[in-house]
Amino acid sequence: MNFTKVQGAGNDFVLVEASEVVLEWPQLAVAMCDRHYGIGADGLLVLLPSSQADFRMRMFNPDGSEAEACGNGLRCLVGYIVDRELTGDRAGGISIETMAGIRQVRIFRSKGRLVKIQVGMGRPQFAAEDIPVAIEPEGEELVDIKLLSYPISVGNRELFLHPVSMGNPHAVYFWQHPVSEFPLSRLGPEVERHKMFPDRTNFEVAHVVSRQQIEARVWERGAGETLACGSGACAVAVAARLLDYVDNKVEIKLPGGILEVEWDKVGEVLLSGPADIVFSGEWSR
């Protein structure tokens, strides 16, 4: 089976075209993503035909679980589609079916060269049942937790989290110090599996540098800490915008690179960033 290794801001994936292949994708993801005995990746991307959009994407984490949304994976998938000239006459943009819905992608070229991929990540969701979060309502029924700073205790620390869904669950924590000093490897697993999140969660620790830039680290559900996370960058930008920490357009500086997020507090979130093909090979196991 042929595969292609792709990456966006250091968030790396194994990509497989599967128009005529049906496999046990969760088990394959575990084997292929293993960094010692497999190819090594933060996830497995499966490119499929779609009856609702131009293409369909499925994304599996290294533990075999399937992710509803993946911004970096989506950009990398589109970069592959463009590189392999699969777009046909769809020169300006394409649509991708995902578990979180159909996503529109704009392709920017200059002198015939791909220079930017901008992904529509949908509108953020804040209702407890949509994220989902298990929070006991106080008084009236809790239907919207926008701007809520909800405390949880992990590792003898109290963290005030801002839950938001970008098609998948996120919990954002704003830290007043450089994010490199935060014990993410120790606290990330505890937040991911906290009882507040029935489907587990992605966890972002963020430090506001200015109204135009935030630095962040991400603990991804089912993957651990990664160099970048597209939906995580969007969640950070959304929470920061609602709290009036940043303007509509902000750079999210992650260990693997910079992602650009735009949100006007009304429409969908737009994500831009790099997407590169690393190498191709054949998986024979």
Can you tell me the distance from the alpha carbon of 103 to that of 87, in angstroms, rounded to the nearest whole number? 15
Can you tell me the distance from the alpha carbon of 32 to that of 44, in angstroms, rounded to the nearest whole number? 8
Pairing of strands 101-110, 113-120: antiparallel
For residue 130, give both structure tokens.
């949509």
Q: Comparing C-alpha atoms, which of 8, 40, 60 is closest to residue 276?
A: 8
Residue 253 half-sphere exposure, CB side, CA atoms within 13 Å? 12
- What's at 207, amino acid-wise? H
Q: Contacts from 115-120 at CB under 8 Å and sequence distance 24+?
A: 116/272, 117/75, 117/78, 117/79, 117/82, 117/272, 117/273, 117/275, 118/270, 118/271, 118/272, 119/71, 119/74, 119/75, 119/78, 119/230, 119/270, 119/271, 119/272, 120/268, 120/269, 120/270
Residue numbers annotated as active site: 70, 229
